[in-house]
Amino acid sequence: MKTDHDVIIIGGGVTGCAVARELSLWDLDVLLIERGEDICSGTSKANSAIVHAGFDAKPGTKKARFNVEGSRRMKELAVDLDFAWKNNGALVLCFSEEERAAVQELYDRGIANGLTGEELRILSGEEARKLEPALSEEVVCALEAKSSAIVCPFELTCALAENAAANGVSFRFLSEVTGVERSEEGYIVRLSDASVLKSRYVVNAAGIFSDSIHNMVSGHKLAITPRRGDYLLMDKEAGGTVSHTIFQLPGKFGKGVLVTPTVHGNLLAGPTAIDTADKEDTATTAAALAEVQERAAVSVPRMPFKQVITSFSGLRAHEAGGDFVIGECEDAPGFFDAAGIESPGLSAAPAIGQYLAGLIADKAGARTKENAVLTRTGIPHMALLSDEERAELILRDPAYGQIVCRCENVTEGEIREAIRRTPGARSMDGVKRRVRAGMGRCQAGFCTPRVMEILSEELGIPMEEVCKNVPGSELLIREEGK
Amino acid sequence: MSRTSSPEAAEHVGVLIIGGGPAGLAAAVAARKAGAQDLLIVERDRMLGGILNQCIHNGFGLHTFKEELTGPEYASRFISQVKELDIPYLLNTMVLNLDRDRNVTLMSRKDGIRRVKADAVILAMGCRERPRGALSIPGFRPAGIYTAGTAQRLMNIEGYQVGRRVVILGSGDIGLIMARRMTLEGAKVLTVAELMPYSGGLKRNIVQCLNDYDIPLQLSHTVVDIHGKDRVSGVTIAQVDERRSPIPGTEVTYDCDTLLLSCGLLPENELTRMTGAEMSSVTGGASVDESLQTSIPGVFACGNVLHVHDLVDYVSEEASHAGESAALYAASSEGERRADAEAVEIAVAGGVRYTVPQRIDPVRMPDKVTVRFRVADVYRDKTIAVYRGEKRLSARKTRVLAPGEMEQVILKKEELSGLTAAEGLRVVIED
C-alpha cells in the first residue's frame, strides 16, 4: 500500500520549517502540519532572537554541537534565503571578583565546543565599557563572543518555509495531531478534523508539545516543562543603547536577563524563566515584567524603559533531560525527534534541519532533487530601500507607494505580497511577522483597519472573519441579524 | 505642479503643510490669506480632515463658529475654504524625509517618489494614542484590545461593531466619547477605570457620556490582568494606592469581550526629530517661539503635534497663527529673517507643567500672544499669574483647574518691552 506522503513534519516553528527546507532538496513528498493558522506561531515567535556563538552549552551535548554548527550555517543561509541577520557580537558580564573563574570556564567551554580563539576574548571591565559605554560600573570583566549574532526569527522561519514550498513541500494549518501510530508502511497520523494521513516517516518538531507527540510512539517517555520567558521591547529610538548582545554570567543574579538590539533596531530585554504547568500560558505578569526591568538594569543601569512599546512572553520547551532530543527514535524506527528544543534552538535550527533531513534521505534512499531552488528572495522592505529603488518598485507596482503602517513605513504592496506568498499570511499577526505592519511604536493603532481590509480583500473573506491569529480571535463582532 | 518621474529633481514650494487635519487645514487657510503662494498640503490618509472625520459627535466649533458642529462638519468648513482658496493638496501621500534645510521626500502610489524644497514648513502631523504595550498591562495579548480612536474609526468610518461588553481603561476624551457611542450602538459599557485620582477628559464629556448613561467611572483604578488567549474574555481591575500601585485584595474581574484604552495621546514627531529641532520633554513636541517656529528656522509647528489640545477650536486658532508666521517667513528675504534669537524662555511654577510657546521675543512679538498650558493636578480656588521678574503682570482667579483642560494667559507686548532673560518671565499657579 502506498502512503500519502514520504514525510510528515509535525510543527511549523523554526525547527519544523528548517527540516522542511532541507528535506525539500531531496526527492521526497513532504507535508508539514501546524496547529496554528500560520508558521512561526509558537516558541519561534517569542524568544530573544539571538544566534548564539556556542560557548554556553556543555561540551558533548547536542545543544553544543547543533548550536555551533547552526550558528555557522546561519550566515550563508541569511544570504541564500534573504532574511535579516546581523553579526553584532556578544558580551557576557561578570560582576564580582569571585566569579572571574566562571568567565574563564565559559571561554574554555567555547573552545571545547569548537569555537576559535579568534571568536572569543576575555575583557577587563574597562575594556567592556569602552566597547559598550552604557554598561554598569560594576562590571569587573566580560567574555566577548565576536561571532554572536542577531536574527529576525519571523523572517528566518518564513524564509525556510517559503523555500521549502518552492521545492514542493505542502503545508496544512489549523490541524492538530491527535494520534500517531505505527503501521506497516510507516506511520498513521490522525488529525483533529478526523482526517487520517499515512506517511513513511514522521518528524516531531512540535515544540512544547513534542513530548506528547513522541510519547504516542515511544516507550522512552519525554517530559517537556513549558518555561515562560517574559520580555520588554523598546522603541527604535532606544535601539542604540547597546550594540552587542549583553548577557549576564549565570550565578549571583540567577539565570541572567539579556539586553540586546534587534535586527530591526529596537531594544529587547528579557527573558524571565518561570516554569508553568500550562502549555497555553503565554500571559505576562506584572511581577515578571518588573523582574525583567530590575535584572536588565544590573547590566545597563540607565535602561530606557520609558520607551517600552510592547511586552510579550513565550514558552521554551524544556525537556527533563536538559538536552535537545534529536534523531531517530530508538523504539520507533522512522520516527524522528527534534524535541526539547529550547535555547539555543533558534541558532541550532539550520543544523538540526540539515542533520535530520540527511538521516531521513539516507533511510529513504532518496536522491537529491534535480532543479531544486536553493535561494529565496524576501519581500522588499520599502523602509530600507533608497529613494531610487523605491521609485522603481512603485513604477512596477504602485501599491508599494501606499504607506499603510506609518510607524514602520510598511506599504500596501508589502502586505499584499505577504498574503500572496506560500505559505502566506492569514491573519493580522501573520502580516505583522512578515512585514512588520503593526510592529512599531503605535502598535497597530493606525494600520489595523487598513490591514484588516487588505486581508479581507486578498483572502476573499468578510471583515468580520479577519482574525488576529487563530479562529476565535476575530477582531470584529458580527452584528445581530447579519 | 508637474509630476516628476525622477526623484532627483526637487520642486519648489512656498509653504509646505505636513498634515491635512484640523491644524494643517487652518494653517494652510491662514497662510494663503496672509499672502503665501505655492502652498501644498500633504495628507497621508485618504481624505482631508484628519481625526475629525471619525468624531461624528457634536460639540465642535463653539468658540470658532459660535455654533455646535460635528467633527466632519467642523472639518468641512475648513476644507471648503481650502478649495475656495485653491490650495493644492495631496492625499495618500507620506512624507518620508524632512531635513533642516526643508528638503522633503514624499511618497505615494500616484506620484512615486517626489522631492520638494520648501521655503517654510508647517508641522501638523497630530498625535497618536498610547498603546497597550506602552502601558505594560500584563496578561494575554488577544484580539479585542483597541485604543479608543482605532475603535472609533472602525465604528464611525468603516461601520463595524468592535465589541458587545466593554471595559474602558483611561478617561481621556476619546474614551469617554466612545463609552457613549458604544452604548448607543447596543454594547454594554461596564466601567471606565482611571489610574489617576482625576479624569483626563473634559468635565462636559464625563457628564454627557458617562453620567447620562449610568456608566461608572472608577478613579484610582487600573487594569491588572487581561484574560482570554484568542479574544478578550475578561479584564481584572484593581484600585491603586497614592503611588499608583495596585492594592492587593481590591481586584474585580469583569466578563467582557473588549478592552478600550484611552490612556493619553502622544505627539507624532518623527519628522520633527529628523530636522534636529529642539524638543520639549514635557509636551513631547517641539519647543517653539511666539511665532510657533521651532529651533529650526522656517520650520513651524501647530496643533496636537506641538502639544495635545483639549478643544479643536484652540487647534485652529494656534494653527492660523502658525500659518501666518510661515507665510511671513516664506515671503521674507534672508536678511529679514532673524539671525540670533533674542527670545526669553518662559518659566513655569506651582503646577504649570509647560507653556506653548516656550519662549517669547519681546521685540518681534505681535501686540498680544496667547500662551497655552496645562496643569499637573486638580487645583481649587487658585490664581493664575504672570510675573516679569518680581512684578506681577496679570492675575486671574480660578475655581477649578484640571489636567484635562487647557488653560491660557495673554501676554501683551506693551508690558514686555525691554524684557531680558536675566529678568525672567514666569507663569505660575498661586494661592
pLDDT digits (tens, 9 = 90+) for A80-115: 999 999 999 999 999 999 999 999 999 999 999 999
Q: How far apart are the first and last CA of chain A?
A: 49
Q: Does B3 have pLDDT greater than 50? A: no
**Distance, CA of A456 to CA of B158 (rounded, Å):** 13
**Distance, CA of B133 to CA of A105 (rounded, Å):** 39
Q: Is the Cβ–Cβ distance between A128 and A46 less than 8 Å? A: no
Give kind and range of the element (H or E) at residue A142: strand A141-145
Q: Is the Cβ–Cβ distance between A456 and A466 less than 8 Å? A: yes
- pLDDT score recorded for residue B340: 53
Contact residues, chain B, for A476 at CB < 8 Å:
154, 160-162
- pLDDT score recorded for residue A2: 82
In which band, very low, low, confident or very high, does the pLDDT at B243 lie, cut at 50, 70 and 90? very high
- pLDDT score recorded for residue B338: 59
Of A283, A309, A402, the CB nearest to B109: A402
B394 at interface of A, judged by CB pairs closer than 8 A:
no
Q: Is the Cβ–Cβ distance between B110 and B89 less than 8 Å? A: no
Instruction: Check A476 against B154: CB less than 8 A apart.
Output: yes
C-alpha distances (whole Å) from A221 to each of A217, A333, A481 are 9, 15, 51
Which residues share a beta bridge with A269? A232, A259
Residue type at B112 in one-letter notation:
G
Q: Does B348 have pLDDT greater than 60? A: yes
Q: Does B339 have pLDDT greater than 90? A: no
**Distance, CA of B139 to CA of B288 (rounded, Å):** 41
Domain A86-150+225-319 has CATH 1.10.3720.10: no
Buried b / exposed e over B272-299, threshold 16 CB at 10 Å, is beebebebbebbbbbbbbbbbbbbbbbb
- pLDDT score recorded for residue B1: 40
Helix orientation angle between A428-435 and A412-420, rounded to the nearest 10 degrees: 110
Q: Is the Cβ–Cβ distance between A19 and A9 less than 8 Å? A: yes
pLDDT digits (tens, 9 = 90+) for B130-163: 999 888 899 999 999 999 999 999 999 999 999 9
In chain A, the residue whose alpha carbon lies closest to the alpha carbon of B162 is A476
Considering only CA atoms, which of A18, A8, A7 is closest in space to residue A341?
Answer: A18
Read off the pTM.
0.96
In which band, very low, low, confident or very high, does the pLDDT at A480 lie, cut at 50, 70 and 90? low
| Residue range A382-465, CATH number | 1.10.10
pLDDT digits (tens, 9 = 90+) for B70-110: 999 999 999 999 999 999 999 999 999 999 999 999 999 99
- pLDDT score recorded for residue B333: 78
Active site residue A264: no
Instruction: Check B149 against A445: CB less than 8 A apart.
Output: yes
Buried b / exposed e over B396-423, threshold 16 CB at 10 Å, is eeeeebbbbbbbebebebeebeebeeee
Q: Mean pLDDT over all residues of chain B?
A: 94
Residues within 8 A of A (CB atoms), B 256-275 only: 257
Q: Are strands B379-388 and B425-430 parallel, antiparallel or unpaired?
A: antiparallel
C-alpha cell at B154: 472602525
Domain A5-44+154-221+321-364 is in which class?
alpha beta
The stretch B277-302 carries a mean pLDDT of 97
Question: What is the separation of C-alpha A191 from the centre of its chain, rounded to a whole number of angstroms?
Answer: 25
Q: Mean pLDDT over all residues of chain A?
A: 96
Buried b / exposed e over B77-92, threshold 16 CB at 10 Å, is bbbebbeeeebebbeb
The stretch A230-240 carries a mean pLDDT of 96
**Distance, CA of B161 to CA of A190 (rounded, Å):** 38
DSSP class of residue A59 equals: T
List the catalytic residue out of A5, A52, A214, A318. A52
Mutate to test the interface with A, among B44, B46, B109 (most CBs of A within 10 A): B109
Of B113, B143, B158, the CB nearest to A467: B143
Q: Does B305 have pLDDT greater than 70? A: yes
Question: What is the 3 state secondary structure string of chain B?
Answer: CCCCCCCCCEEEEEEEEECCCHHHHHHHHHHHHCCCCCEEEECCCCCCCHHHHHCCCEEECCCCCCCCEEHHHHHHHHHHHHHHCCCCEECCEEEEEECCCCEEEEEECCCEEEEEEEEEEEECCCEEECCHHHHCCCECCCECEEEHHHHHHHHHCCCCECCCEEEEECCCHHHHHHHHHHHHCCCEEEEEEECCCCCCCCHHHHHHHHHHHCCCEEECEEEEEEECCCECCEEEEEEECCCCCECCCCCEEEECCEEEECCCEEECCHHHHHHCCCECCCCCCECCCCCCECCCCCEEECHHHCCCCCCHHHHHHHHHHHHHHHHHHHHCCHHHCCCCCCCEEEEEECCECCCECCEECCCCCCCEEEEEECECCCEEEEEEEEEECCEEEEEEEEEEECCCCCEEEEEEHHHHCCCCCCCCEEEEEEC
Mutate to test the interface with B, among A45, A306, A442, A466 (most CBs of B within 10 A): A442
- pLDDT score recorded for residue B187: 97
**Distance, CA of A189 to CA of A176 (rounded, Å):** 10
Give kind and range of the element (H or E) at residue A51: strand A50-51
- pLDDT score recorded for residue A70: 98
**Distance, CA of A463 to CA of B211 (rounded, Å):** 33
Contact residues, chain B, for A403 at CB < 8 Å:
44, 94, 107
Mention every residue, 6+ apart, whose C-beta is less than 8 A from residue B10. B103, B115, B116, B117
Contact residues, chain B, for A276 at CB < 8 Å:
none
- pLDDT score recorded for residue A254: 56
- pLDDT score recorded for residue B185: 93
In which band, very low, low, confident or very high, does the pLDDT at B9 lie, cut at 50, 70 and 90? confident
Contact residues, chain A, for B229 at CB < 8 Å:
280, 282
The stretch A183-193 carries a mean pLDDT of 96
Instruction: Check B161 against A479: CB less than 8 A apart.
Output: yes
Q: Does A287 have pLDDT greater than 60? A: yes
Mutate to test the interface with A, among B4, B113, B116, B223 (most CBs of A within 10 A): B113
In which band, very low, low, confident or very high, does the pLDDT at A138 lie, cut at 50, 70 and 90? very high
Instruction: Check B110 against A401: CB less than 8 A apart.
Output: yes
Q: Is the Cβ–Cβ distance between A457 and A412 less than 8 Å? A: no
- pLDDT score recorded for residue A1: 56
Mention every residue, 6+ apart, whose C-beta is less than 8 A from residue B312. B22, B52, B60, B61, B71, B74
Residues within 8 A of A (CB atoms), B 96-135 only: 96, 105, 107-113, 115, 128-129, 131-134
Instruction: Check B157 against A449: CB less than 8 A apart.
Output: yes
pLDDT digits (tens, 9 = 90+) for A256-276: 899 999 999 999 999 999 999
SS3 A96: coil
In which band, very low, low, confident or very high, does the pLDDT at B8 lie, cut at 50, 70 and 90? low
Instruction: Check B143 against A288: CB less than 8 A apart.
Output: no
Instruction: Check B142 against A284: CB less than 8 A apart.
Output: no
Instruction: Check A387 against B138: CB less than 8 A apart.
Output: no
Contact residues, chain B, for A442 at CB < 8 Å:
128-129, 131
Q: Does B200 have pLDDT greater than 90? A: no
- Chain A and chain B share a number of CB contacts under 8 A equal to 138
In which band, very low, low, confident or very high, does the pLDDT at B426 lie, cut at 50, 70 and 90? very high
Contact residues, chain B, for A395 at CB < 8 Å:
112
- pLDDT score recorded for residue B4: 43
- pLDDT score recorded for residue A67: 98
Domain boundaries, chain A: 5-44+154-221+321-364, 86-150+225-319, 382-465
Q: Does B6 have pLDDT greater than 90? A: no
SS3 A173: coil
Q: What percent of chain B has pLDDT over 70?
A: 96
Question: What is the 3 state secondary structure string of A270-328?
Answer: ECCCEECCCCCCCCECHHHHHHHHHHHHHHCCCCCHHHEEEEEEEEEEEECCCCCEEEE
* Low-confidence winner among A193-202, A286-295, B145-154, B197-206 (lowest mean pLDDT): B197-206
Instruction: Check B92 against A402: CB less than 8 A apart.
Output: yes
C-alpha distances (whole Å) from A23 to each of A60, A93, A161, A329, B389 are 26, 40, 11, 18, 80
Buried b / exposed e over A6-18, threshold 16 CB at 10 Å, is bbbbbbbbbbbbb
The stretch B325-343 carries a mean pLDDT of 79
Of B113, B132, B231, the CB nearest to A472: B231
Q: Is the Cβ–Cβ distance between B152 and B185 less than 8 Å? A: no
Give the other-Cβ count within 10 Å of A274's Cβ: 17
Instruction: Check B133 against A402: CB less than 8 A apart.
Output: no
Mutate to test the interface with A, among B44, B105, B141, B226 (most CBs of A within 10 A): B141
**Distance, CA of B13 to CA of B41 (rounded, Å):** 10
Q: Is the Cβ–Cβ distance between A210 and A11 less than 8 Å? A: yes
Residues within 8 A of A (CB atoms), B 155-214 only: 157-158, 160-164
pLDDT digits (tens, 9 = 90+) for A296-330: 999 999 999 999 999 999 999 999 999 999 999 99
Of B113, B150, B164, the CB nearest to A448: B150
Instruction: Check B138 against A403: CB less than 8 A apart.
Output: no
- Nearest CA distance, A178 vs chain B (angstrom): 21
pLDDT digits (tens, 9 = 90+) for A358-410: 999 999 999 999 999 999 999 999 999 999 999 999 999 999 999 999 999 99
Of B162, B224, B246, the CB nearest to A476: B162
- pLDDT score recorded for residue B275: 98
Q: Does B2 have pLDDT greater than 80? A: no
Residue type at A10 in one-letter notation:
I
Instruction: Check B112 against A391: CB less than 8 A apart.
Output: yes
Q: Does A481 have pLDDT greater than 70? A: no
Q: Are strands A141-145 and A120-124 parallel, antiparallel or unpaired?
A: antiparallel
Q: Are strands A325-329 and A187-191 parallel, antiparallel or unpaired?
A: unpaired
Classify B429 in phi/psi space as left (phi over 0), alpha (psi -120 to 50) or beta: beta
